[in-house]
Amino acid sequence: MYTLDWPYAYGKPLSTATFKASPEDFQVNELFTGEFSGEGEHILLKIEKKGLNTEDVVKALARLINKSIKTISYAGLKDRQALSTQWLSIHAPGEDIAGLEDISEPNWRVLEHSRHNKKLRPGFLTGNQFIIQLKQLSEPEAFIQRIEQIKARGVPNYFGEQRFGRNAGNLEKAEALLVQGKRVKDRFLQGIYFSAARSWIFNLILAERVRAGNWCSVLAGDVMQLSGSHSIFVAENDLIELDQRILAKDLSPAGPLPGKRKNMVQG
């Protein structure tokens, strides 16, 4: 069994509320502040979806345009139980796909599209905008106090349960791939399982730092990420100054995500 019960930075919650009673209670909008080239091998789509996850939409889109799901990319996964906008890219060199602007299915639709010279990858987007509605809130004073703590210091950025699948099923699939050597023909699913494993390792390390009380402090060898540019560097000296910059929300410590790329975290 895999634990998904992570330690709290400020103690256990003192308030309760109903969350995600409907998809409209959790709205996520992907933000992209750059400009599209207007030409290139890729067609970028902005879609709106409700009650579907990213995989559901990718499969539905591939079926509608008669292309392999391998030709469709995205920058991040989005929850099923949400109303969200998301960018997808289709690799279609020299190919016009008619009717994209008219796609409007019961639970998702295309809002806009444009040509671009690069496909979507993680890190392509500026960020995400969240609109969260809580209902039936208890202990409102304790809730407001906790919000003020979060505003001052932030929260441990754990990966949420949706990353690990229902009953942590994605982690079990990842173990079968990585430990038992089993294979998955569907590269989309394989990527989801590997992502779950990386995210779980990240959460384990973050949880240890929460228990130690240093999750929001700099340790020698930490990778630091600037808040504006998202540039990164390794913390080696001037740790006290870096802690002050964290409090000023100028930068944040980052955690490791194991994979093929070089891991900069040291110590």
Residues 79 and 81: their CA atoms lie apart, in Å, by 6
Helix (H) or strand (E) holding 254: strand 251-254
3-state percent helix, strand, coil for the chain, nearest multiple of 5: 35, 20, 45
Residues 88 and 84: their CA atoms lie apart, in Å, by 13
Catalytic-role residue among 79, 96, 186, 222: 79
Could you confirm whether 238 is annotated as catalytic? no
**Kind of pairing between the strands at 83-91 and 26-31:** parallel
Record the tokens describing residue 1, joined without a space: 């069994």
140, 62 contact by CB (below 8 A): no
Phi, psi of 49 (to 5 degrees): -140, 155
Residue 212, CA distances (Å) to 161, 219, 235, 263 in order: 23, 12, 19, 23
Record the tokens describing residue 250, joined without a space: 């100028």
Residues 247 and 221: their CA atoms lie apart, in Å, by 19
Record the tokens describing residue 217, joined without a space: 């402090």
Three-state SS at 9: coil
Residues with a known catalytic role = 79
